[in-house]
């Protein structure tokens, strides 16, 4: 099986606002919209929208045992793990186990995330 496909549409347009879902535990701070997913492998492409004023410091940073790519589409986001403000155009290809976050934003931010949960590291990563 391959990742799902869809015709051109604009997930950032006002008309698409109802397609976004609050992220569990981050209600009022962040929303997500899965653009494409492979039901067999779990690989997915998703947009995460951090709302203006969001701050995930209470949850700490996070890691996961699979690689992912992230691209800042618009806005800006502070990644405490790197002590860095990420702005539109910033990109990272994260290896399994890389600490990232917590995050905060003053103006809001949209992040494109491509994740590969089927490519789990053999190491002991949480």
- Phi, psi of 57, rounded to the nearest 5 degrees: -55, -35
pLDDT bin (cut points 50, 70, 90) of residue 117 is confident
CA distances in angstroms from 119 to 36, 64, 71, 123, listed in the order given: 17, 11, 20, 12
Domains of the chain: total:
1
Q: What pLDDT is recorded for position 1?
A: 62
pLDDT band at 122 (very low <50, low <70, confident <90, very high): low
Q: Residue 41 sits in which domain range?
A: 20-115
Residue 9 is assigned to a structural domain of this protein: no
> Per residue in 77-116, pLDDT tens?
999 999 999 999 999 999 999 999 999 999 999 999 999 9
Q: What local confidence, expressed as pLDDT, does residue 105 receive? A: 98
Structural domain includes residue 111: yes
pLDDT digits (tens, 9 = 90+) for 43-63: 999 999 999 999 999 999 999
Residue 24 sits in a domain whose CATH number is 2.60.120.10
């Amino acid at each position: 099986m391959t990742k799902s496909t869809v015709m051109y549409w604009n997930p950032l347009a006002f008309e698409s606002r109802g397609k976004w879902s609050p992220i569990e535990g981050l209600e009022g701070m962040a929303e997500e919209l899965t653009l494409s997913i492979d039901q067999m492998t779990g690989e997915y492409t998703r947009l995460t929208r951090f709302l203006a004023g969001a701050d995930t410091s209470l949850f700490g940073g996070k890691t996961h045992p699979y690689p992912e790519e992230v691209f800042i589409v618009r806005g800006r986001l502070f990644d405490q793990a790197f002590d860095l403000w990420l702005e539109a155009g910033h990109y990272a290809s994260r290896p399994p186990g890389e600490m990232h976050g917590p995050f905060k934003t003053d103006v809001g931010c949209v992040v494109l995330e491509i994740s590969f949960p089927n490519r789990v590291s053999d190491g002991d990563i949480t």
